[in-house]
Amino acid sequence: MLVPDGALARAAAALGLEPDALSPCGRDAAKLELVAPDAPPRGRLVLVSAITPTAAGEGKTTTAIGLRDGLRRIGHVACAALRQPSQAPVFGQKGGGTGGGLARLVPAERIDLHFTGDLHAIAAAHNLLAAMIDNGLHFGALDVEPDAVRWPRVLDVGDRALRAITTGQAPGGGPPRQTGFVLTAASEVMACLCLARDADDLRARLGRMIVAVDRGGAPVTAADVGAVGAMMALLGEALHPNLVTTREGTPALVHGGPFANIAHGCSSVLATRLALAHAEWVVTEAGFGFDLGGEKFFDLVAPAGGFEAAAVVLVATVRALRAHGGDAADPLTAGLDNLDHHVAAVERFDRPAVIAVNRRADDDPDAIAQVVRWADIRGVPCAVADPYGAGGDGCLELARAVVAAARPGPARPPYAATDPAEAKLTALAAALYGAAEVRWTERAKADLAEIARHGGGTLPPCVAKTPTSLTDDPRRAGRPRDHVLTVTGAHLSAGAGFWVALCGAITRMPGLPRRPRALGLDLVDGISTGLD
């Protein structure tokens, strides 16, 4: 789908951007000049999140796009700040990440695939560092045992065969060592770029990344390897946010990392700050349910960016709520318990929640009315939206509800900044997952001790766990209570400014399903097909 002639220019003008602030990437996208780190925000920020995801789908991105179109239709200068989709779900099970129906980004096909090449640049920078580490081992420039290297390689396609590999087996290939691949979205380079406030901040973050431990037990950083300058050269264009439009012509910045189950999963600080400097209302989105992406927005992203959310929209559908109800006599009523958990989590952050019931064409009106009545009794604003079928017109009620509910103020985190790492995770698990206990495997305990030795003892956690449950068991839907969260491993992301807790059987490199969506993709008359 092509952007109508002049739509991108009109979108830029609506934000007050001068033509020379845009570097065109074809006719339907452009790179933008960076906003000054100390530029005062003009607008208010709305975070779109959701209940715990189900196979039924909730339509979070579609609702986020419809909401910003709706805000524009009621007279506000609105902009989006969204994550760039990964190719992994496009070729795997979920499909594209640009919305759907009448509420979608354009050009959807480009955004879902290569777009402006940002993810490829991030992968190139990450893998260049990996190559330079192995080169240092080969020539003896690094005082590091091969098994003390902590830096994997990355790829933006799910490939389970690459989760664990042995390198250095070819003649002249350097000392053999065990390593593996993670998804590009889970790269610490991605997190550094997304959390950086400017180029200097990115350079400093890249330099702090710990890639190995030397023979004396001291951390070896990317700066020690000498890779930072070359990595900055590769990331020069990727640092700049991308401007596109929605189908209705509303401006949208698409920049930064997806996958809040294995990464921080939010749009970049740079894109969000740029949007806030130029729009009255900015709609951003965090990946998966509020327990994952929403928590990471408030605990990791907002502090790095120096901004706050005026409201949180929680997206739910009747079908997804019933899926959470399982085999209950009244699955919709039972499923509302999951929604209640996420509303309570938003309230713990002291932010106003607005429920968006994303209506499907085949929904029972009585079921929709039941959810609305529940929200009224619960005391939470609720609006029925139809972004897929009616675009911005289908989100007017939601837009008005968000404007009415929004209020300024900082979020209240679930832990104190000075709390030790273990206590931070315990508090987060209780508040966001309903866990009664956090259990550490022996490997995880050893990892935590190393994190403390290397200066990460009070950094915030970035949890990697299944997105389909509040627990670490993907089969437990609904609202499990008093469960045990098991931490199986941990590592320090010193450049990003957090540590990663691996929970349950989570892997940071997904595999393709039995019948991957890649089987249905093609190029017909120069147009990519099968992405919907």
Residue 2: what pLDDT? 46
pLDDT, tens digit (0-9, with 9 covering 90-100), for 35-84: 877 777 889 999 999 999 998 789 999 999 999 999 999 999 999 999 99
Note whether 56 and 79 are same-domain residues: yes
Residue 5: what pLDDT? 57
Long-range contacts of 208-212 (CB under 8 A, 24+ apart): 208/494, 208/495, 209/129, 209/493, 209/494, 209/495, 210/150, 210/454, 210/492, 210/494, 210/495, 211/129, 211/133, 211/149, 211/150, 211/151, 212/133, 212/142, 212/144, 212/148, 212/149, 212/150, 212/151
CATH number of the domain where residue 490 is located: 3.10.410.10
* Percent with pLDDT over 70 in the chain: 99
Boundary-marking domain end, from 176, 200, 235: 235
Q: Is residue 526 one of the residues assigned to a domain?
A: no
pLDDT, tens digit (0-9, with 9 covering 90-100), for 119-144: 999 999 999 999 999 999 999 999 99
Residue 172: what pLDDT? 83
In the chain, the number of structural domains is 3
Residue 1: what pLDDT? 43
Residue 441: what pLDDT? 98
Rounded Cα gap, residues 482 and 468, in angstroms: 17
Residue 390: what pLDDT? 98
Note whether 131 and 211 are same-domain residues: yes
Rounded Cα gap, residues 39 and 35, in angstroms: 7
Q: What is the mean pLDDT of residues 385-413?
A: 97
Note whether 251 and 310 are same-domain residues: yes
Residue 431: what pLDDT? 97
pLDDT, tens digit (0-9, with 9 covering 90-100), for 259-317: 999 999 999 999 999 999 999 999 999 989 999 999 999 999 999 999 999 999 999 99
Note whether 274 and 294 are same-domain residues: yes
Query: Is residue 96 scored above 90 in pLDDT?
Result: no
Q: Is residue 517 one of the residues assigned to a domain?
A: no
- In which domain, by residue range, is 228 found? 118-235
pLDDT, tens digit (0-9, with 9 covering 90-100), for 199-223: 999 999 999 999 999 999 999 999 9
Confidence tier at 6 by pLDDT (50, 70, 90): confident
Considering the entire predicted model, what is its pTM? Answer: 0.96
Q: Is residue 124 one of the residues assigned to a domain?
A: yes
Note whether 157 and 287 are same-domain residues: no
Decide: 25 and 116 in contact? Cβ < 8 Å: yes
